Every structure is written in C-alpha cells, then in structure tokens.
Amino acid sequence: MTEYASDLRGADTVPHVGDAVPDVADTLPHVADTVPHVLDNPALASLTGPHARFAERSGRVLRYPVDVSPWLALPHHPDARDWADLAALAGPGSEVAVPAYSGRFPADWEVTFDLEGVQFVDDGIAAAPDAEAVPLGPADVPEMLDLVERTQPGPFLPRTIELGTYLGIRRGGALIAMAGERLHPPGWTEISAVCTDPAFRGEGLATRLIHAVAHGIRERGETPFLHTAAINTTAIRLYESLGFRLRRTTRFMAARVPVVEAGEERVGV
C-alpha cells in the first residue's frame, strides 16, 4: 500500500531531536480560524480551481489522472450518490485515496489505509532562492522516481511533475535532493516530495529546498502549506523550526471499491 501522506523520511535530520513535541491538537484553537476554508478539502479546491485541467469527474466526485496523483476529491458531505459516482469513476476493486477526509466509508468498502496527519501553513518562513536548486523537467523524471523510491517521501508518479515547479540539487551530475509543489487550492500551494539521498543527509539540503520552493510560491502571491504524518516528529520539528505553523489535524485514508456481483445492489452509506 502506498504511503499517501508525505512524511519527509527522506529529509535531513533536524536539531533538538530529543525535545518533546506537544500533542498537535493542543495548538489547534490558536490557528484554526485564521486560514481559509479551502484548506479543509484541498484536493477538491485544487481540482475545481487551479488544477481543474487535470480533473476527471463523475457527478460531484473528482480525481487526478492515475499517473499524476493518487488523490480523489469528495464533496464536503458525501451522500450515497457520491459514493456510487466514486465507485464508477475508480472501477470495481480499485483502491482510492482520499486526503483530508475524516468521515466513514460505506460499510461494504474495505479501508486499506488510515493515517492521522497534520497540516502546516506558512507563518514566517525565511523563503529565499538557492543558486544550487535548479528546476527539474520531464527529462529528470526517471532520476526523480529513483530518488523517491529510495527515500519514500510520499507519492510521486510519472506525471506528478506537471502539478507545479520542482527543484533539485545535483552533485557530480547525480540528483541528490528535491522538493516541489503538489496540491494547489486557490491562493495556496502545497510543498511536497521533499527528499534527500541518505548519503547527503545532515547538510541542510531539505531546508534549502523548502526555502527555495516557498520563495517561488510567494513570488506568485500565494502561501505555502504542507502535510505530514502526525507521528513524524522529526518532520514536525523541521517545519516548526522553519516558520510553519500547525493549522489542523486531518486524516489520509484509502479504501477498496467493492466488487458488486451481477444482480447485487451496492450498499449505501
């Protein structure tokens, strides 16, 4: 099963790893009402906004092409018709990934992945360009896929690069670190796929790339945000040290569309 939430396992080790990390929920009341609602359902906001060109739709359900991103987007309060549309869009037996969904799947859907996540927003990042961080393009995708395979920062597929700008750092011609843009709700851009070759960790490359990607986002007049697993204390410390602020907890879930035999009726919500 793909680990859908970017967990930054490929990023550099950060300072103060022995410090206690407070429960993320403790800080939510201080920030929950400071960010637009589009971040509560970022995949839906992206696919009905800046990423509408990617959207494949059935009724109120949308998804990215399967070679771009695993994400699907449900309406805020899905009903039985929406689940039927999702099943039709994905196909019987398919696994569907839904970010930022805290509800329940229908009873006959097998939940295959359920991870508590956290969402962070820019609250004063020292964003800056980096001379060594160069734009990556289609010709770099094989190396990017190889780096992702070795570092596991989260989903990155053959066409994920089309979602936004990706920057990389090379040494001796080899791609050793990268970061880029994923979900794109109006006014916001998610930083994702932050990863560093294990042989080059500890050099601050992840920090530099986050600063560089954030700089490009701000230059467009938008605000960076990102996600990670709630249990990934290393990533959480890094984000907080860079000037990201916790906004909310969320869930990353996936389930398998049931296979309905001829003559059967699909079970509703």
In this predicted model, what pLDDT tens digit does every residue of 177-224 receive, in sequence order?
999 999 999 999 999 999 999 999 999 999 999 999 999 999 999 999
What CATH code would you report for 24-38+119-249? 3.40.630.30
The pairing of beta strand 72-73 with beta strand 223-229: unpaired
Contacts of 200 (CB under 8 A, 6+ apart): 171, 176, 177
Task: Dihedral sign for Cα 45, 50, 54, 59, please.
Answer: positive
Residue 45 tokens read as 């906001």
Question: What is the value of pTM for the model shown?
Answer: 0.84
- Alpha carbon 263 to its chain's center: 39
Q: How many CA atoms lie within 13 A of 60 on its CB side?
A: 11
Question: Residue 261: which pLDDT band, with cuts at 50, 70 and 90?
Answer: low
Return the pLDDT at 108: 94
Within 10 A of 111 (CB to CB), how many other CB atoms are there?
A: 11
Side chain identity at residue 63, one-letter code: R
Contacts of 212 (CB under 8 A, 6+ apart): 127, 128, 129, 130, 133, 167, 179
The answer to whether the CB of 178 falls within 8 A of the CB of 136 is yes
Cα gap 212→205, rounded to integer Å: 10
Question: Residue 264: which pLDDT band, with cuts at 50, 70 and 90?
Answer: low
The answer to whether the CB of 165 falls within 8 A of the CB of 216 is yes
Return the pLDDT at 100: 84
Q: What are phi and psi of 242, to 5 degrees?
A: -85, -10
**Exposure of 12 by Cβ count < 10 A (0-12 exposed, 13-18 middle, 19+ buried)?**
buried
Q: What are phi and psi of 263, to 5 degrees?
A: 95, -15
Residue 254 or 102, more confident: 254
Tell whether the model's pLDDT for residue 20 goes beyond 80: no
Cα gap 30→26, rounded to integer Å: 9
Domain with CATH 3.40.630.30 in the chain: 24-38+119-249
